[in-house]
Amino acid sequence: MLELKPMIHKFKMKDKYFCLDVNSGIIHVIDELTDRVLDIYDGTNRAAVHEALDSVESPAELDELLDEIDGLIKDEMLYAPMSEDFKLVAAEKPIVKALCLNIAHDCNLACKYCFASQGDYGGVKRELMSFDVAKRAVDFLISMSGPRQHLEIDFFGGEPLMNWDVVKQTIEYAEKVGAEHNKIFKMTMTTNGVLLTQEKIDYLNEHKLSMVLSIDGREEVHNHMRPSAGGTDTYKTVAKNLINAVKQRNGLEYYARGTYTHNNLDFTKDVIAMSDLGFEHLSMEPVVGQEGEYVLREEDLPALMEEYEKLADLYLERQKEGWGEKFNFFHFRMDLYRGPCMAKRLRGCGAGHEYMAIVPNGDIYPCHQFVGRDGYVLGNVYEGLKNFDIPREFRNTHVFTKPTCAQCWAKFFCSGGCHANNETFTGTIHEPYALGCELQKKRIECAIMIQAELDELREQGIVPKEDPAFQERKQHNWM
């Protein structure tokens, strides 16, 4: 049953007050009085506002403010109703549009927090994918993609560069058969960089692969969490190779991705360290784990909330200094005003029905994080899908089927969280991972504050007005 109740979310950051209208996605920068009024007013109880505030505020000024709020409500910019279109998106039958190829179930690193258990995925056999399996995986994706033209393949591991010959064969095969079937592949390589030689860099650039580059910021942080399989430090080798790769990207997409843990709650310093190495496109993700000295815990939340605000301040300061795209932090670059498509707002990444993972023996899983978990094999590339119950369950699981999410203001930005993380921490994909929710909500608030501040700076001419959505936001007063 879809929950269609109008909802707002208010918060204060950097001495400014913000109000998000949840259903419309419109963001308002408000003053302190409006913030207090909206603690009370829901569009129907004007008398309650006067009863609470007439003794300390001018009744005439309150009426003027309430008239303005009523106008916003009438224009569906505040307490907006939910579009009935969301029901249609939830019921549609999607197609498979992306695969994660676990091309190597082996790794040359022994990262302490690795969800893939340093490559063997919790006891799954260490092995490299054959080209025959990879070829059949590409064929499977084409056959399951229906009329969709744009498809995605992520080369993943373990460490995919340990199976370089098959990676190259698969890229060339996908390009060949894609042309034959009128399919366009976007391909991505996720790598720790240890084996990233000049020859490999040249090949990946020639074939226009995107790259996700794993490095954990400061040298001591990286070496502590990401030693080699033999236990030696890896930072210097990784940093050298990744810097060399990024210098040659020439506009091709990449992200330098780090992970923060209980041991580096001051992760802004790690983001700065990555930026100082020359990485412009940055991501720093919270570790996900249930045991070990590095796992995040509830008592870490106050420090993490403060740290995200510190990082947001750094982001704004660098934008004022003219860094622009040279300091691009993934979680602060949300398109808050137009947002993702409806399907993603409801269901997120599409794991298990639009996105699947293939392992070296050809088995199909809902995503790379479900690999090795009992009961989650969906089929095999040699036989096709056999388990249709899990894809159906994943497709029909969305923010309105999760009671916690249905009542949450952030639901259209996080889409109910990661299914794998939810299942790990709560035992079901239908209940979100609570600590992850709190971190996500803080990142969203920071992103809202940053966008509002940047729009103000654009008005003042301090930051260039190249943002194509800026004039639209100004026109509609969505600031």
Task: Give the DSSP letter string of 454-467.
Answer: HHHHHHTTSS----
Q: Are 104 and 56 in contact (CB under 8 A)?
A: no
Secondary structure letter of residue 82 according to DSSP: P
Secondary structure letter of residue 112 according to DSSP: T
193: left (phi over 0), alpha (psi -120 to 50) or beta: left
pLDDT for 340 equals 53
Which residues, given as ranges, of the chain have pLDDT below 50? 1, 469-479
At 26, phi and psi to the nearest 5? -80, 135
Tokens found for residue 359:
């392992």
Q: Are 50 and 62 in contact (CB under 8 A)?
A: yes
The sign one gets for the Cα dihedral 391, 393, 399, 402 is negative
Q: Are 400 and 3 in contact (CB under 8 A)?
A: yes
Q: Are 431 and 418 in contact (CB under 8 A)?
A: no
Residues 17-30 pLDDT 10s: 999 999 888 999 99
Report which of 165, 252, 156 is spatially closest to residue 207, judged by C-alpha positions. Answer: 252
Cβ burial of 261 (10 Å; 0-12, 13-18, 19+) is buried
Secondary structure letter of residue 228 according to DSSP: B
pLDDT for 448 equals 94
Report which of 352, 355, 365 is spatially closest to residue 122, judged by C-alpha positions. Answer: 365
Q: Are 463 and 319 in contact (CB under 8 A)?
A: yes
pLDDT for 342 equals 62
Rounded Cα–Cα distance for residues 122 and 159 (Å): 16
Rounded Cα–Cα distance for residues 110 and 155 (Å): 19
pLDDT for 119 equals 56
450 in helix, strand or coil?
A: helix
**pTM surpassing 0.85?**
yes
Neighbours of 202 (CB within 10 A): 11
The DSSP bridge pattern shows strands 281-286 and 328-329 to be parallel
**Strand ranges inside 14-116, DSSP E:** 16-21, 27-30, 98-102, 104-105
Distances from the Cα of 406 to the Cα of 3, 114, 279, 430, 438, angstroms: 6, 31, 38, 11, 15
pLDDT for 476 equals 40
pLDDT for 472 equals 46
pLDDT for 478 equals 36
Rounded Cα–Cα distance for residues 391 and 396 (Å): 8
Task: Give the DSSP letter string of 231-294.
Answer: S---HHHHHHHHHHHHHT-TT--EEEEEEE-GGGS-THHHHHHHHHTT--EEEEEE---SSSTT
Residues 27-75 pLDDT 10s: 999 999 999 999 999 999 999 999 999 999 999 999 999 999 999 999 9
Could you state, in order of their start, the residue ranges of all structural domains in the chain?
A: 8-75
The DSSP bridge pattern shows strands 150-156 and 254-260 to be unpaired
pLDDT for 479 equals 34
